[in-house]
Structure 1
Amino acid sequence: MAHMHNHHEPEGADLADAAKATLERAGEQWTAMRASVFEALAGFEKPASAYDIADVMSKSQGRRVAANSVYRILDLFVGANLARRVESANAYVANAHPNCMHDCIFLVCDKCGQTTHIDDDRLTGAVRDAAKGAGFSPERPVIEVRGRCAACAAN
């Protein structure tokens, strides 16, 4: 049986507060722009690209927000564990438990795009061990499983 984690996952303002505290512990400032990017990212039901986030922010702020600025902030967020990158989609999801470090396992639905993040330390530990056994130093394992979510598989 896999070693799974169940976390209390903050939402809304509590999630933004957890993200802010995590970023500040990393020695970074929680600016208005960073707060806006996180709020927009957390508002998506599916992984969002920097362009998706910039579009939402531009509409809500009544001014153009450049995707390049959003990319820089998303890179910071990934490094600080506030967001996760879905590599195959070049998109991001807000990390629902930014205080907890885990390697990523994403279940990506090819039909609707829904992406679920799960934690399984035994599986990701085995991937890290296999990489080390091959003389490779893993830094950020990301596992993506493509297929159909339960809702799409039923249709």
Structure 2
Amino acid sequence: MARHDHHDGGGADLKSAARDRLTESGEQWTGMREAVFDALAGFDRPASAYDIAEAVSKAQDRRVAANSVYRILDLFVGANLARRVESENAYVANNHPGCLHDCIFLICDNCGQAKHIDDDSIADNVRKAAEKSGFSPSRPVIEVRGLCEDCG
């Protein structure tokens, strides 16, 4: 199936799926990791590590350093709990952490929303083009800038 859609969960279901995915990968679901995931999932657009650190700091009434958040976000990306929006140096919670795909982000230049779609045929074609050029791709990064449905 080249393209497919997911029912995007949220709230407790999303956190439960993220916790399960992280522990299945051999990592612990700690209080700080939960706080970072909650903050990340609470944003309606891609959030930087600094945005997340500020949200966690406010929620816990103590300062949380962005470098600690970066380490957790790297772990989350590796475990498929979060996706990195490269052009924004920001992150979004993966609403379906059990599904492994290369992401395609549609990023609105007006409101900053980033919609994630899966289309394996596009990612596969990018991989094939890279291989044809003698390059060994590890992960395609596909981001499309423009205007979302609401702003367009």
Q: Which range, TM-score by smaller chain?
A: over 0.9
In structure 2, stretches of 5+ residues that fail to align are none
Q: Give the TM-score normalised by the residue count of structure 1.
A: 0.95
Map of 1:85-124 to 2, 5 A cutoff?
Answer: 85-124=84-123
Q: How far apart are the structure 2 equivalents of 1:140 and 1:32?
A: 30
**Unpaired runs of 5+ in structure 1?**
none
Whichever residue aligns with residue 137 of structure 1, its letter is S
Q: Distance in 2 between matches of 1:10 and 1:104?
A: 17
The runs of 4+ residues in structure 1 deviating greater than 3 Å are none
Secondary structure in 1 matching 2:104 = strand
Tell me if the contact between 2:9 and 2:95 (Cα under 8 Å) persists in the aligned partners.
Answer: yes
2:116 alignment partner, SS class:
strand
RMSD of aligned Cα (Å): 1.0
What's the CA shift string for 1:74-110, capped at 9, x where partnerless? 0000011100000000000000000000001000011
Query: How many pairs are equivalent?
Result: 152
Stretch deviating more after TM superposition (25-34 or 133-142)? 133-142
C-alpha deviation, 1:9, in angstroms: 2.2
Question: What's 2:48 paired with?
Answer: 49
Shift of 1:8: 2.7
Question: 1:29 — aligned with what?
Answer: 28
TM-score normalised according to structure 2 size: 0.97
Match of 1:8 in 2: 7
- Is the 8 Å Cα contact of residues 5 and 117 (structure 2) preserved in structure 1? no
Aligned to 1:128: 127
Identical counterparts, % of pairs: 68
* Distance across 1 between alignment mates of 2:21 and 2:136: 26
**What is the match of residue 67 of structure 1?**
66
